[in-house]
């Protein structure tokens, strides 16, 4: 059995109609989204649910200036049996001065006789520089990962040779080691970085070593400042979860 996995930071200023259309055409089975704002119109979660997906969402507890909440989501064509939110850091931690939390949302998804543990996350943006905060977030994430049947995807805000990504690769398989760029579609994506070209990899799909993957892809879209990424998993070799 094969599953197509898709991850995408859809951008707080993204074109939600174009996001929905790409997902409609993607044939993805499980999707992780970041920078989701359900209060925006059209409601992106309801739009994708209309394509035949279940969804779960958690806010990063960052209130934008317009009062709307932004966060991470997971959507699945299969039953979402259980969900959890893991706080990777919050404002009580002395390493952070930001008035927000960063989290990973977990969905346990029933695929036939297998439970897949799926995570969608969005690490702090440190402008592609080494950061103790990012290091701590990655370690917090690693501590809560089940050892098998696990997929971790999202915007890690870290380049391939960073300490964060090297650490993730020690624990999980990077399903696209080619490190094709995924960010820099619009300069407005970061006023500090001011990207002028699409030349930076920030988005990843990781999987535990029991999951076979193939066909990694970076999809083309102008809907967001990030490009969506996908991979196909082969579940034929997996045994039933306990």
Q: How confident is the model at residue 30 (pLDDT cuts 50, 70, 90)?
A: very high
> pLDDT tens across 120-178, in order?
999 999 999 998 999 999 999 999 999 999 999 999 999 999 999 999 999 999 999 99
Q: Which two tokens stand for residue 38?
A: 């359900």
pLDDT range class, residue 72, cuts 50, 70, 90: very high
- Would you call 61 exposed, middle or buried from its count of C-beta atoms within 10 A (0-12, 13-18, 19+)? middle
Mean predicted lDDT score pLDDT of the chain: 91
Tokens 């006789």 identify what position?
A: 113
Instruction: Report the pLDDT value the prediction gives residue 101, as an integer from 0 to 100.
Output: 78
Confidence of residue 91 (pLDDT cuts 50, 70, 90): low
Percent of the chain surpassing pLDDT 90:
83
Confidence grade of residue 29 (pLDDT, cut at 50, 70, 90): very high
Q: How confident is the model at residue 68 (pLDDT cuts 50, 70, 90)?
A: confident
The reported pTM is: 0.93
Given the DSSP bridges, would you call strands 150-155 and 114-122 parallel, antiparallel or unpaired? parallel
Q: Above 70 in pLDDT, residue 34?
A: yes
97 by Cβ neighbours in 10 Å (0-12 / 13-18 / 19+) ranks as: exposed
Q: Is the predicted pLDDT of residue 235 greater than 80, yes or no?
A: yes
Could you tell me the two tokens for 145?
A: 């990962």
**In the chain, domain spans:** 2-234
Q: Which CATH number applies to 2-234?
A: 3.60.10.10
In this predicted structure, what is the pLDDT of residue 138?
96
């Amino acid at each position: 059995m094969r599953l197509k996995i898709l991850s995408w930071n859809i951008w707080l200023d993204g074109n939600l109609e174009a996001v929905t259309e790409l997902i409609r055409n993607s044939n993805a089975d499980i999707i992780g989204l970041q920078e989701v704002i359900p209060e925006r119109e059209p409601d992106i979660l309801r739009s994708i649910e209309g394509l035949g997906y279940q969804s779960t969402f958690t806010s990063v507890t960052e209130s934008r200036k317009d009062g709307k909440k932004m966060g991470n989501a997971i959507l699945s064509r299969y039953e979402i049996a259980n969900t959890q939110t893991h706080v990777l850091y919050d404002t009580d931690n002395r390493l952070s001065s930001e008035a927000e939390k960063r989290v990973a949302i977990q969905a346990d998804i029933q695929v036939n006789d297998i439970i897949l543990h799926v995570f969608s996350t969005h690490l702090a943006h440190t402008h592609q520089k080494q950061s103790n905060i990012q290091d701590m977030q990655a370690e917090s994430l690693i501590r809560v990962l089940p050892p098998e049947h696990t997929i971790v995807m999202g915007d890690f805000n870290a380049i391939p040779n960073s300490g964060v990504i090297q650490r993730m690769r020690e624990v999980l398989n990077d399903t696209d080691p080619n490190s094709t760029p995924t960010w820099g579609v619009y300069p407005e994506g970061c006023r500090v970085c001011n990207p002028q070209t699409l030349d930076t990899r920030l988005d990843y799909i990781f999987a535990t070593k029991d999951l076979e993957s193939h066909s990694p892809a970076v999809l083309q879209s102008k809907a967001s400042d990030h490009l969506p990424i996908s991979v196909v998993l082969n579940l034929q070799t997996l045994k039933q979860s306990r």
